[in-house]
Structure formats: structure tokens, C-alpha cells
Amino acid sequence: MAGGTNKKSFINVQNRYGWFFVSIAIVLLGVFLLYPIFHSLYLSTTSSKGIVQKFVGITNYTRLFKDQMFLIALKNTFIFFIIQVPIMLLLGLVLASILNNKSVKFRGVFRTAIFLPAVTSLVAYTVLFKMMFGLDGFINTMLLNLHIIREPIPWLLDPFWAKVTVIIALTWRWTGYNMVFYLSGMQNIPDDLYEAAEIDGANKIQQFFYITIPMLKPIIVFTSIMSTIGTLQLFDEPMNLSQGGVTGSTTGPGNSLLTLSVYIYNLCFKFMPNFGYAATVSYVIVFIVAMLAIVQFKLAGDKK
């Protein structure tokens, strides 16, 4: 009887210590995660000029539909999302399929080379792209020497070519990152499936579409959602390539590179600070990401 009591007391002591250590993590999560979420939601219902805040209800949300700068930022963000994300994911999938082939020599070298851009500094690589895509940069010089173009392309001065430059930069940086996920998934697909398909007369393209892609569906969904989140939060490339493409910039193409995240930055630090309206715009990103994630799950056939 005494032994049972001692054992129960020991378990109670363990539980108290366990809850004590867990409580530290819970408090930290509450302070640094939950509180900012709820405070920013409250902040989106206020109008602030500097440090003075005034409760305005849903006025900030109705203002969005009349804000031309917000609509431009939303349009630009969706252009990058619709064009760049499919190109990046498809290219990563194709490269992973090629480099998963055991007959390809120096696979490790190619994998490393393609993945390296993902670990480079954001500022360093955008500065490098800015130099390369300048009017007298390496890209224009090469194209002129090869007689592909007759005059330099205004990569960072023309609205269309500025978007093309950002899409090229994003694709260069993140294709290898997604390729690694696809490679890890392909290496877990049993070789027996491919051997059976080959015996049945299926060629490499048919094996790719009927075996590889279905087996990689969870990873494809994951990478598409992560790429969606990253693209809708696009900030570094537009800001570093042309100061966000804001009106009045002497090095940028007007508002063609103004994204939602850049607009939030401008609302907080460039224009007269209005943190309440900036929080409202940030919740637009949250809403769009949630909706697109649901759509992507549905398209992938996830019934959960």
C-alpha cells in the first residue's frame, strides 16, 4: 500500500514538473504568436496616424475596394503568382525527374548547383540581378553580341520587362528548393512500379504522368501551397531591384513591381504611418492564402 502511494506521489511530482516546463513554451507561444495575431486583428479595425489610434470598425476593409494603390498591388501580386509559381513547380518537377535517373553522370554536382541559389543571400542575389539586368549589364551585352537584339532591353525600367526580371529571379532562386522535395519523394517510389509499367509497354513519359506525378501528389500539394504563401508575401525582390517600383522612384518602372507586402511596408514606413490600414492589407494576404490553399487541396482530391 505504501509502495503504491509513493509511486502515485512520484507520478504527481513528475506531472507538476512536466506542466511547469510545458507552461514556459505555452507562455512564449502566447506572447510571441497568439498575442500578435489577435492584436493585429484588432489593429485592422483602427485608424492610426502615428501613435494615435481610433476605432473605425470595418471602415478599413471597405476602403480596400476604393484604394487604387491596393488594387494595383493585388493585381501585380496575382500576376507573379499565376505565371511564376506554375513555371517554377513544373521546372522543378522536370529537373528532379531527370536528376533522379541513375544513368545521368555527375548527378550530385548538378543537384548541388541547382539547389545552391536557395541558400544564397536575398540581398546579394537581387543586387547581382540588378547589375546583370541593367541597360549596360551582362545580359544585354551578351544578347547584343549574339545579335539577338538590336538595342538594350530596359529590364528594370519598363513595366513588362521588370515583371519578367522578377519572375526570372524567383524561378532561379526557388526552383532548386522545390526540386529537392520532389527528388526525395521520387527516391521513395518503388522501382518495381516502373519495371512493371515498362513490361506493360509504358514509355518514360507515360510512366512520369501515371506513376511519378500521382505518387508525388502530397509533395506537389505541399510545394504549391508553400510557393503560394511565398509569392503572395513577395517583398525582397521588388524592393531590392527597384525600391518596390513605387511612383517617384528614379530607378523603377512606376508601380509595376508594387506587391501587397511592399504596399504594407509603404503604409508603415514610407507614407504617413497607418498601422491599422497596413494590418488590414496583411489580413487580405491571410484570407487569400487560406482560400487558395483550400482550392489546391480540393483540386488535389483531398477529401479531408
CATH number for 271: 1.10.3720.10
Pair 76, 258: CB distance under 8 Å = yes
DSSP H or E run through 54: strand 52-55
- In a domain, residue 50? The reply is no
Note the pLDDT of residue 143: 92
Whether 163 maps to a domain, the answer reads yes
Q: How far apart are CA 122 and CA 125, in angstroms?
A: 6
Q: What's residue 172's pLDDT?
A: 94
82/37 same-domain check: no
> pLDDT at position 191, please?
86
> Which residue from 241, 99, 192, 41 is spatially nearest to 200, judged by alpha carbons?
192
Reported as a single tens digit per residue, the pLDDT across 124-147 is: 888 899 899 988 889 999 999 998
pLDDT in tens, 167-177: 999 999 999 99
Is residue 213 a part of any domain in this protein?
yes
What pLDDT sits at residue 34? 86
Number of folded domains that form the chain: 2
Tens digit of pLDDT for each residue in 232-263?
999 989 988 876 555 444 445 678 899 999 99
Give pLDDT, residue 247: 45
Q: Which domain holds residue 219?
A: 62-299
pLDDT for res 14: 67
Q: What is the pLDDT of residue 117?
A: 92
Classify residue 268: in a domain, yes or no: yes
Tell whether 168 is covered by a domain: yes
| Lowest mean pLDDT across 93-102, 161-170, 185-194, 249-258 | 249-258
Model confidence at 13: pLDDT above 80: no
Question: Residues of the chain with pLDDT > 90: what percent?
Answer: 41
Angle between helices 68-99 and 159-186 (to 10 degrees): 40
Cβ neighbours of residue 268 closer than 8 Å, sequence gap 6 or more: 274, 275, 278
Say what the pLDDT of residue 269 is: 85
Express as a percent the part of the chain with pLDDT over 70: 89
31 and 176, same domain (yes or no)? no
What is this structure's pTM? 0.84
- Pair (99, 17) in one structural domain: no
